[in-house]
Amino acid sequence: MQKLSITLTLNGENVTVDCVANQTLLDVLRDELGLTGVKDACGGEGECGACTVIMNGKAVNSCMVFAGQADGAEIETIEGLAKGNDLHILQKAFMETGAIQCGFCTPGAIMSAKALLDHNPDPSEGEIKEALSGNLCRCTGYKKMIAAVQLAARGGKADER
């Protein structure tokens, strides 16, 4: 298998990593770079959204991206969201609304939500559902996840409507 070296802007830092041509971005993030916040729940089939990262501003299933395709890309993962203990507003909102139970889908869901809010800071409920529709969750029934994204979109303030 052909070997290659790719360079990513990963959570704001330049990273160069050696990999082989049939490795996915998910493999590289988890196995080569140790970013285990990126989850694999469907066996790399692009079905579950647990491995969602933001690539050049768009939420993608990292298991559906070959490592080579990510060369030169800007990648954001769950690990890059908080600055130390200073959490991103979405992380706080997911915690406070009870949108987290087992937590396995949480990183992917938060990244999908971040990609949405980055482009559309005031999304409708329908737009939130659309943005999270590729993130499977077996625990929460999604209601609190949607509420979390709405809370974050309001800047963390309680709904006064």
- Contact residues: other proteins, CB under 8 A: 20, 31, 34-45, 47-48, 50, 77-79, 81-82, 87, 91-92, 94-98, 100-107, 110, 128-130, 132-146
CB of 73 to other proteins, least distance (A): 19
Of the pair 103, 156, the CB lying nearest other proteins is at: 103
Tokens of 36: 């285990």
Of the pair 70, 145, the CB lying nearest other proteins is at: 145
CB of 135 to other proteins, least distance (A): 8
CB of 88 to other proteins, least distance (A): 9
Q: Which long-range contacts (CB under 8 A, 24 or more apart) does 3-6 make?
A: 4/67, 4/68, 4/71, 6/67, 6/68, 6/70, 6/71, 6/72
Residue 131 near residue 59 (C-beta atoms within 8 A)? yes
Closest CA to 135 of 31, 53, 35, 76: 53
CB of 122 to other proteins, least distance (A): 18
Of the pair 58, 138, the CB lying nearest other proteins is at: 138
Of the pair 57, 102, the CB lying nearest other proteins is at: 102
19-32 burial, b if ≥16 CB within 10 A, otherwise e? beeebbbbbbbbee
Q: How many residues does the chain have?
A: 161
